Every structure is written in C-alpha cells, then in structure tokens.
Chain A
Amino acid sequence: MSNAIGKPISRVDGRRKVTGAARYTAEIELPNLAHCAVVGAAVPSGRILAIDEKRVHDAEGVLAVLTHDNLTKIASQPPLLPSLAGGPAPGETFFPMQDDTVHYAGQPVAMVVADSHERAQYAASLLDITYERADSITTIEEGRATAYEAETLFGGLMPARNERGDVETALAQAPVRVDVDHHYAANHHNTLEPSATTAVWDGERLTLYDSTMGVRATQLTVAQLLGIPIAHIRVITEFVGGGFGGKAMTWPHVTLAAMAARHVRRPVRLSLTRPQTYTSHGHREEQEQRLSIGATKDGLLTAVRHEKLSVTSPFDDWAEPATGVTSQLYRCENYLGLHRMIRGNVMTPTFMRAPGESLGVSTLEVAMDRLAYATGVDPVELRLRNRASVDEHGNPWSSDGLEECLRTGARLFGWDRRDPEPRSRREGDWLIGSGMAVAAYPMAFMMPPQQARVRVYADGSAVMQCGTQEFGTGATTAMAQVAADGLGMDMNDVTFEAGDSDLPNASASVGSMGASMVSAAVHNAAIELRRQLVAMAVADTGSPLHGADASAVVVEDGRMSLGDGSAGAGETYAEMMRRNRLSMKDALGDWTPPPMDAPHGMMTFGAQFAEVAVDPDIGLVRVRRMVGVFAPGRVLNPKLARSQLMGGMLWGMSQALLEGNQMDPRSGRWGASNLGEYLVPVNADAPDVTVEFVDVTDEVAGPLGVKGVGEIGQVAMAGALMNAVFHATGRRLEALPMAAELVMDPPGTSA
C-alpha cells in the first residue's frame, strides 16, 4: 500500500527556500505597516519609578509609546500548560506591563511604535526609565539556601518526586557505588529567525502572523489574554525559521503586538532583536544534577537516586523533567527522582530540544560509564545487562529496539577495537578518546484528539489540511507522503496545507510528537475519504466497479480498481466525480491518542557513539566522528528524518562543548546576549555524522507507528562526549559546556 511513505523524497518547500521566495513571519507585506520596538527592563528586580517619554515623542515617525500606564489590562491569565496539551499555553503566568513591578531583566516595560523599523528602534533607545532596584537572585549559587522541592512539574502534569523501594538503604548496602555531581550552564534556543509577530485588526477580528510552533496555542492564549472570542482570532505561520522549543509556547510579545496594533489602529510588526531573544521566550535552566548508583560487582543496578536543582522564575514552578528516563531505562528496584527549584529573577524557563532528558540521560549515562570502569564491565555490555524490557509500571514497551541500536552502533563505530584504558591513545598534540551513551525519550500522549481535513477535486488533485506548522522538520513533505498513500494517489497530485489556525486542530509540534500525532490524523482523514469515494463507486451504477466488494478495491495513482492493474476494471476518482458532477469531496479525519495510562511503556530508544580528539595543553576538544543509531518506529521520510537526527546529535555536541550562558549576579543580566558571545557551532565544528535506523514496529503509537525523531538525536550525546573526554584524558569533567579551562591539564601536569 505504501508508495510514498518511507521514500527519501526531497522537501516540497525546497525550491522556495533555496530561491529566497519562502516568506517568514517578519516578511509578510502589509499596507500601512507600523513597527514596534520593545524596551526591556534594565534591572532584574524592583519597580519603575518614572518613565520620561519626552525625547521619544520628539523623534521622527513615532506613533505611540506604551507603558504600564496606558497599556490595556489583560482579561485573564491562562495557566501554564505545555502547548502539546492543546489549550492556552502562555510561556509564563506573568504578563508584563500591567503594573510597575520588575521581576526579571529584559521583561518588557515599554513599547514604541513608529512608522519604520529603524525609527522605532532608535526612538525606543531614547526612553528614559528610572528604577528602584531591589535585591535579586539569578544564579544557583545565590539562591541555594532558598531551594525547595516542587510538588509538580509541567503545569501540574507531572509529579516532581518519583520513588520506589528504599533507595537510601540500597545505596548504603551496595557493593559498588558511583556518584555524579554535575553543573550545567543555561542554554538558549537561538533559532536563526528571531521570533516575530505581526498583528492586523479588522474591526473586532484579529489576524496574527506569528513565528510559532503551535498556531492553535497562539490563538487560544491570545484570545484568553485579550478576552475576545477564539473565533475572532486567526493565526498564520507559513514558514518558521527554527523552533527547538523556543517557539512552543505563546510568550508575552505576541499579545503585546496585538495590543500595540489595536492602540495605533494599524498593522504592527514586532520583531525581537537578537539580544532580546535571550529574555523573551524562555531558556534551558541553569541546573545541577546529582546521580548516585548502587550496583552489584557485576554491574547490576540495585539503587538509583537522581536529583535536579534548577532556577525558575518568581511565578512558575518550571523545570524540564529530567528523570523520566532514569526511572525506567534500567532494571532497578530502588529508585528516587526529584526536582528542586530556586525562585530567581529570571523569566520562566521553557522547553528546549530534548527537554529534560538531553541532560537527564547524559547524567545517567556518565554515571553508567563510571560504573563500567568501577566494575570492569564493557560500557555497551553494562547497558545490555541492565536494560529494562518493561517500563516502571511493569508494562512492556510499545516497541523497543534498544539492544539492536547498541549492537549496530557498536559495530558501525568499531567499539570492539577500543582500548578502555583512559589516556592511552595519542596522535601528535592530540589525545584520542571515545565514549557512548544510551538515548531514550518518552512519548507523551497528553494531546487532545488531532484532526485533519482532506479534499479531492474532480480534476484529480487533492489537498490535505491540518493546523500544524513547518519549522524545518519537513512536516509539509512527510504529511503529503502520508496523505498520498492514504488516498492512493501520486504525491505530486497532493498538496499539504498547514500553518493556519482556521485549519483543523493539531496541537503544537513539540516533544517529538508532531510527526506521530499529525500523521495519524492525516492518515485517518485520507483513508476515510478513500473509503467514502470507493463506497460511492461501488454504489454507482455508472461505475465499472458497481457492485464490487468495497474491501477488494485498491486505489493507485488515484485510480480505483480490483487490483488487476491499469488494464482491469476501474476508474479514477476524477472520472467518477465528474460523472456525478461532484466538483470536490471532503472528509475529516480524527485521531485520539492512547490514554496516558495505557498498558504500554512509551519510549523511543537509540545509542550514541562519539570519538574526540583533545588537546590537553590547550584544552580544546574536537569531535572527530559521531554514530547514532535510533529506533523511531515508522520512518516517514528517511532523508528528512536523518537530517533531523543529525541535527539533534550536533546539538548534543554543541551542548557538550560550546553552549552556556551565565548570569552576572550583580546586574541580573545574562553575560551573553548575541551569537558572538553565546557560541553555537559553525561548519568547521561539525564532523560528518553517521545516522542509522533500527526498524521497529509500534502498534500503539498511532495507526502508522511513528515515534518521532526531533529529540532523540540530542539525548545523551553530551553524556557520550563527556565519557569520550574522560577516555581521552583520564579526567572526569563535571560541568557543561566542557570549556577549555576545564579540559586543559592543570598547570604543572603538562608535558
């Protein structure tokens, strides 16, 4: 039945992207467009004493200055829930510019609207704001004494503590024990397209062009904040220049753009500047993770305790859950996972690619590497020995593949040729080392039913519509493949439309659930319309298929037949529709996710291997090669899936070696706020990457068995690299990124 699914088809939007024709949010042309510049608070805590606007109004082209004194109040504040849950999804439960309070540096405190971008930006720089500065906490170090154990995470969706057995006793009695205590710097998404919103009012109706990973989340959030009917808001996002979680929630600037446009009665574009992106859509928290393992001398786990401490905002208990894999990847009777937080003067942190588990599993896998050395068991063998075949509730995995991922990865990498002795391989100035880690990422079926609508026209073309969005995953390509196969049509005859809240409901594409949930709805819509069309044909006295058994009818290239090829009895959808003067026919497809307590463990597995070269004098780490093997269920388009997995693995490399931001506790501002200071990899940093698939069939994860590839590529790659650096140098580093000063041999020890 499958013609398009599984084929390495090039992106359907490729031509528009390589010719510059693809229009992103800040590029939509509108008549009479005004530009909004946001002014962020210069202090991390306190209140605004005075705002002097005089020089702003004297500047050319200024249309309005908005502050807490004249901005409309919000109607009501939605709770913080992940956008995947399908409801309003503000990134934080604080909405700025409602009063004179400042909770974090960069918090919007004013907006200047002018008739051009340059004029708005310049006029905004003329605003003179006087603050009363209050004490602030912006780092773990400052707030350690105030740490508290949170009750729940993710807006109450998950417990912050998870426990079984008696972990303390088991740790105390364990013949072998390893402890890991890591510090991880804050990370920022740095999508290459800074978030932007353009708001256009037409009477009471609002159109928002928004760079978002969830048009529905934007629609619902803005509707509640503004107190207007959902039906009055339409959100459009055709192309999004990267998401990575930074555009997964609806952050204040989106609604602020709508408020500004209403105020000046003109369309308003609000484009965040690059520095503003560091304080406008969340970040991955500064955090510490501690993990202790108790084990037998054979390396079998008897106890695991995993704790995370991170900085959250003054108003939300937000931490990326970091222990969802640790609790169940390996068999272990005694387990404790918990999250502690510090309330700091930062905005509410948020999802960032492979949220929680990119670092959570890294921590676990460094501990496992230490255990391998402590017990003398090969690291791959240690994982195989401990891996769990059921989840923490005793339910079997819906699909697995971990063992094959490990064995395939080890083979492709040449793991068996590795001398486990640390610091045993040198090439010139470089020490060579290799490391590995297991990757695993949970599937979270917290979304409401997903819908898609399909329409076949009498000329034999078809359009599939779904309110999902394209931010580089290749969704529009893969979904056209799914639609084509479901309809029994050639992919070239099928268009996939997305990025519009007027289209049928899909949740935000986050948590690696986009491909899974959207393909399920698209598939169901397609097969529903095919069923209806075939039913019409067999009931139609004018059809060559009249009276045939509908279940025996196959459709290929849009032609219904009894499976006897093009010569046999049959006709195309188009022929039948034209004969019946039916210009088009629609069907809606629904997919309801399995319940969260379904009797299956839902996890995607993989294995990461990496080789590094370390210059121990200077402290530089260069990644030579990376091998990732993953079992993501059905792969809709291997070309695109490989790209996403490769990107994830390189994100892991970046997290391991380059990315990190620090607060200056005196000013409460981030030390880095641009791409010259916050380092992401350049071409020269990125080695060639081997990505391989392990084929597993999953009958729980939707009708097509898709598990998703957005996150798993990044999970634990940082851990694999930490292990590789240990193997190269003989020294265990306890912080990310592994900056040169940490990696270099201490003075006095160098050759």
Chain B
Amino acid sequence: MRPLSYTRASTVDEAIATVGGDSRSAFLAGGTTEIDLIRLGVTRPDVLVDINSLPLKEIESTPDAGLRIGALARMTDVARSADVVRRFPVISQALLLGASEQLRNMASMGGNLCQRTRCPYFRDGVSPCNKREPGTGCSAVDGLNRGHAVLGTSDDCIAAHPSDVGVALVALDAVVHTLGPSGARSIPIDDFYLLPGSSPEVEHPLERGELIVAIEVPPTPLAERSLYLKFRDRQSYEFALVSVAAAVDVRDGRVADVRLALGGVGTKPWRARRAEAALTGGPATREAFAEAAAAELEPAIAHKDNAFKIPMARRAMVRALDQVVNGDAR
C-alpha cells in the first residue's frame, strides 16, 4: 500500500477543513471500500482523515415520523434498530442481505452511499477504465460484462452500482444531508447518485471536503409493508445480480401508491419510475405487475454477457410486487 499519513478529526468542522484544504486527502470512515481500493492502487490519497470519532452515529425518528440516520451509524446498528425493522423493513432487509456481519459492523451508512463499483476492470488497476482513469476507454463494454448494468449505461461506462441499502433509500426518497466548505446542503438521494454519462469518474455531486452527515428518510407509511428481494449466485456474501426494493399501498384492489427500485442492473441504485407510473391507479394483479416491469426494462441495453439481467429483473419485480401485496413468505 502507498505511504499514508493519518489524522483523527475531533470535530466535523475540523474534518471538513482538513479534507477541504488538501487535495491529497480523503475521509476515512469504516474503511471497507477505501482501504481495499488504496491497497489495490485504484485510489491514491496521501492523507486519511479518520472521522470515526465524530458524533454522527445516531439513528432517530424525526418529529414528522421520518427517520434520520447519522452518516457514521454502522450498517449493523441500522439494520437491527427496532424502529427501522418495524417502520422501514426494506432498509433493514437490504442491509442484512449485503456483505457479511463483519463488514456490516465496520461499514458506515455514509460510506455505503459512497461505495464504488465492483467492476473488475475498475478494480484491477491496469485495464482501461474511464471511471478510474478518465479518457482511457471502457474495458467492460466489449469485455466480460456479466455483472454489469443494463440501465443508465453510457458508451463510457456500464459499471453496476453495488449498493443494496442504496436501492432501498432511493425507493423511499431519502435525502442526503451534507456539510462542506460551502455550508449545509440537502440532496435528494436520486440526485446524489449520478449517471455515468461522459464523466463516469464523477459519481456524486459532492465538492472537496463536503461530508455526508446524515441520511433522512421522509415519513412513508407504506414502507411498513415493504421488502427487499435479492438474487445472487451465492446464497450469501455476494453482490446482487438483481435486487428489488418494493413498497405498495393497495386499496380496493388498486395500487394507490408504490415505490420500486432495482439493484444490480443500474449504474446507480435504480428508481423504477416507469414501472411506478404504470402501476399507480391500476389493478394490483400479476399481469399489471408484469406490464409495469416490462415498461421499466424497455430502455435497457444489454451487452454480451448480461442480457439475462433484463428478464431476470422483470421477473424479480413481479415477484417482489406479488410478495409485498399478497404477503407471501420470502
């Protein structure tokens, strides 16, 4: 691993000032992605500013019955929070279906939002990769791309976003609160994740030194009946081939409100707005679910190895909707 300097920030302001003032520096939270990528030579900070002592670990209800998660709350603590389990099961489930208990004990929620892709060409440190070395080209477009995205891709990048909980948060319209050299911001999570376009190296709208301090989930009564379905080759400890976050409010057999998002298939956690639009106001039937799923995947672009993700995602959406509406056991 490259030589590193290390400092522990004792206040949020100090952390922001340190990283904001030194382009060679980076925040260090749980480290599960960061240390890995530094060791691989993919990211190259010279200074790590350890923010783990900062008071950003609370998980609390907001006065309007939303949920506020401190950026440094560990995945485990959020997943096992009784409040989260009761009111936002999709968040708890998504967390518990990600990584391993050891990694969940380490990884912070803010860090999870900043998780990098698992594209092997990005991680190998040598292949052309626009995300790692802008302008060098995308090795995955014509390469081994079984794990890659089919939605939100560009000619310059088809890397899938690996997060599970991000999918749940996108479905629930979470807001990312940050503090930075320019002050405080609240960024809708769907805007927090950027599509690759022609600049896949830019993944978030954060300026240097801007720190995620909390994630807020607005009050969402229908989330009490929500679930996260995840499909992968292994039964555990693996990123999704396809995953679905779903919450549905059915009244008199019709879909009054629905939240749907997909993991494993998008270059960002993918809010299924086409499907939601197709479902809202319509009948809560398998046929309607299938049509909505087809609508969502209609713009999908397959590459050599990942065409299967399109039917898999459609079927996964139908199953998730069916289970959340009809209460099937998972």
B-binding residues in A (CB < 8 A): 42, 60, 118, 121-122, 125, 429, 617-620, 622, 657-658, 662, 664, 666-667, 669, 671-673, 676-677, 679, 681-685, 739-741, 744, 747, 750
CA A740 to CA B316, docked complex, whole Å: 13
Contact B118 A684 (CB under 8 A): no
List of A residues within 8 angstroms of B234 by Cβ: 658, 679, 681-682, 684-685
Residue contacts A-B, CB under 8 angstroms, 22 given: A60-B3, A617-B315, A617-B319, A618-B312, A618-B315, A618-B316, A618-B319, A658-B233, A658-B234, A664-B139, A666-B143, A667-B127, A667-B139, A676-B118, A679-B234, A679-B238, A684-B235, A684-B236, A685-B234, A740-B241, A747-B311, A750-B315
Contacts of A429 in B (CB 8 A): 319
Contact A683 B236 (CB under 8 A): yes
B118-132 to A contact mask, C-beta < 8 Å, 1/0: 101000101100000
A739 touches B315 (CB 8 A): no
Are the C-beta atoms of B144 and A671 separated by less than 8 Å? yes
B308 within 8 A of A: yes
Query: Contact string, B86-130, partner A, CB cutoff 8 A, digits 1/0?
Result: 000000000000000000000000000000001010001011000
Query: Do A618 and B231 have beta carbons less than 8 Å apart?
Result: yes
The 8 closest A-B pairs by CB, nearest first: A741-B308, A684-B235, A684-B236, A617-B315, A671-B144, A747-B311, A682-B237, A685-B235
Q: A121-B1, A618-B312, A673-B124 are in contact. Are A739 and B319 (CB under 8 A)?
A: no
Q: How far is the CB of A107 from chain B (nearest CB, A)?
A: 15
Residues of B within 8 A of A620 (CB): 231, 233
Bound CA–CA A122/B143 (angstroms): 29
Q: Which parts of B1-37 form the interface with A (CB within 8 Å)? A: 1-3
Residues of A within 8 A of B41 (CB): 125
Interchain CB contact under 8 A, A122 and B241: no
In B280-330, which residues have CB < 8 Å from any A CB? 305, 307-308, 310-312, 315-316, 319
Chain A residues with CB below 8 A from B233, complex form: 620, 657-658, 679, 739-740
Give A42's nearest chain B residue, CB to CB. Answer: B126
Whether A664 contacts B144 by the Cβ 8 Å rule is: yes
In the assembled complex, the CB of A67 is this many whole angstroms from the nearest CB of chain B, namely 19
Complex CA gap A672/B118 in Å reads 11
CB pair A744–B311 under 8 Å, yes or no, is yes
Q: Once bound together, how far apart are the Cα atoms of A679 and B142, in whole Å?
A: 23
Which residue of chain A has its CB nearest to the CB of B229?
Answer: A618
Q: Which chain B positions have C-beta within 8 A of A669?
A: 124, 127
Chain B residues bordering chain A, tally (CB within 8 A) = 32
Chain A nearest CB, measured from B137 CB (Å): 11
In the complex, what's the smallest C-beta–C-beta distance from A351 to chain B, in angstroms?
26
* Nearest CB of A to B48, in Å: 15
- In the assembled complex, the Cα of A664 lies from the Cα of B305 at a distance in Å of 12
User: Looking at chain A's contact residues, is the secondary structure mostly helix, strand, loop, or mixed?
Assistant: loop
Q: Which residues of B contact A681 (CB under 8 A)?
A: 234
For B140, give the chain A residue with the smallest CB separation.
A664
In the bound complex, residues from chain A placing their C-beta under 8 Å from that of B310 are 747
Could you tell me the distance between the alpha carbons of A622 and B1 in the complex, rounded to whole angstroms? 39
Convert B196-218 into 0s and 1s, putting 1 for each residue whose CB lies closer than 8 angstroms to a CB of A.
00000000000000000000000
Q: How many A-B residue pairs have CB under 8 A?
A: 83
**By the criterion CB–CB under 8 Å, are B1 and A122 in contact?**
yes
Cβ of A682: which chain B residues have Cβ within 8 Å of it?
234-238
Contact B120 A672 (CB under 8 A): yes
Q: How far is the CB of A616 from chain B (nearest CB, A)?
A: 9
Please give 12 more A-B residue pairs, beta carbons under 8 A apart, in addition to A617-B319, A618-B242, A673-B120. A121-B1, A125-B2, A617-B312, A620-B233, A622-B235, A669-B127, A681-B234, A684-B236, A740-B231, A744-B312, A744-B315, A750-B311
Which chain A residue lies CB-closest to B125?
A: A125
Q: How far is the CB of B52 from chain A (nearest CB, A)?
A: 22
Residues of B within 8 A of A666 (CB): 139, 142-143
Are the CB atoms of B2 and A122 closer together than 8 Å? yes
Rounded to whole angstroms, the CA-CA distance of A620 and B143 in the bound complex is: 24
What is the distance, in angstroms, from A245's C-beta to the closest C-beta of chain B? 23
Which B residues touch A619, using CB under 8 A?
308, 312
Give the residues in chain B near A664, CB-CB below 8 Å.
139, 143-144
Specify the chain A residue showing the minimal Cβ separation from B100.
A682
Choose among A658, A662, A664, A750 the residue with the greatest number of B CB atoms under 10 Å from its CB.
Answer: A664
Using Cβ atoms and an 8 Å threshold, which residues of chain A touch B231?
618, 620, 740
Known: A122-B3, A684-B234, A685-B235. A671 touches B120 (CB 8 A): yes
Q: For the complex, what is the distance from the CA of A160 to the CA of B310, rounded to whole Å?
A: 44
The residues of A that contact B307 with a CB separation of less than 8 Å are 741
Residue of A nearest to B311 (CB): A747
Check A118 against B237 for contact (C-beta < 8 Å): no
CB of A485, distance to nearest CB on chain B (Å): 43
Contact check, A740 vs B235: say whether CB atoms are below 8 A apart. no
- Residues in A neighbouring B118, C-beta threshold 8 A: 676-677
Q: Cβ of A671: which chain B residues have Cβ within 8 Å of it?
A: 120, 144
Residues of B within 8 A of A667 (CB): 127, 139
Whole-angstrom distance from the CB of A138 to the nearest CB of chain B?
12
Chain B residues, Cβ within 8 Å of A679: 233-234, 238
Q: Which of B143-191 contact A (CB under 8 A)?
A: 143-144, 146
Q: A121-B1, A617-B319, A666-B143 are in contact. Are A677 and B120 (CB under 8 A)?
A: yes
Report the minimum CB–CB distance from A664 to chain B (whole Å).
5
A619 CA / B146 CA spacing, docked (Å)? 14
Inter-chain contact B312/A740, CB cutoff 8 Å:
yes
Complex formed: what's the CA distance from A42 to B118 in Å?
20
**Structural contact, B120 and A744, CB atoms closer than 8 A:** no
Q: Please, which residues of chain A bring their CB within 8 A of the CB of B127?
A: 667, 669
* Complex CA distance for A619 and B118, rounded to whole angstroms: 22
Smallest CB-CB separation from B238: which chain A residue? A679
| Minimum distance in angstroms from B303 CB to a CB of chain A | 13
With both beta carbons as reference points, the residue of chain A lying nearest to B126 in the complex is identified as A42
B319 cross-chain contacts in A, Cβ below 8 A:
429, 617-618
By a CB distance below 8 angstroms, the chain A residues around B312 are 617-619, 740-741, 744
Minimum C-beta distance from A683 to chain B (A): 7
**Closest residue to A742 on the B side, CB-wise?**
B308
- Closest CB of chain A to B318's CB: distance in Å? 8
Residues of B within 8 A of A42 (CB): 126
The residue on B at minimum CB distance from A273 is: B39
B-side contacts of A672, CB under 8 Å: 120
Residues of the A chain whose Cβ atoms lie less than 8 Å from the Cβ of B316: 618
Residue of A nearest to B290 (CB): A750
- Shortest Cβ distance from A119 into B: residue: B3
Minimum CB–CB distance from B34 to chain A (whole Å) comes to 16
Q: Residue of A at shortest CB range from B239?
A: A676
How far does the alpha carbon of A682 sit from the alpha carbon of B102 in the complex, in Å? 14
Q: Which residues of chain A come closer than 8 Å to B3, judged between CB atoms?
A: 60, 122
Q: How far is the CB of B32 from chain A (nearest CB, A)?
A: 12
Within 8 A of A (CB), among B26-74: 41
Chain A proximity of B285: nearest CB distance (Å):
14
Interface hub of B118, B127, B308, B319 (most chain A Cβ within 10 A): B308
Which residues of A are found within 8 Å of B2, using beta-carbon distances?
Answer: 122, 125
A680 to B118, CA, bound (A): 17
Kindly state the separation between the CA atoms of A620 and B232 in the bound complex, as whole angstroms: 8
Q: Nearest-CB distance from A736 to chain B (Å)?
A: 13
Tell me which residues across on chain A come within 8 A of B308, comparing CB atoms: 619, 740-741, 744
Chain A residues with Cβ below 8 Å from B315 are: 617-618, 744, 750
**Whole-angstrom CA separation of A676 from B162 in the bound complex:** 12
Complex CA gap A60/B2 in Å reads 11
In the complex, residue of chain B having the shortest beta-carbon distance to the beta carbon of A621: B233
A750 to B313, CA, bound (A): 13
Q: How far is the CB of A192 from chain B (nearest CB, A)?
A: 15
- Report A-chain residues with C-beta under 8 Å of the C-beta of B143: 664, 666
Instruction: Report chain A residues within 8 Å CB of B142.
Output: 666
* Chain A residue at smallest Cβ distance from B323: A429
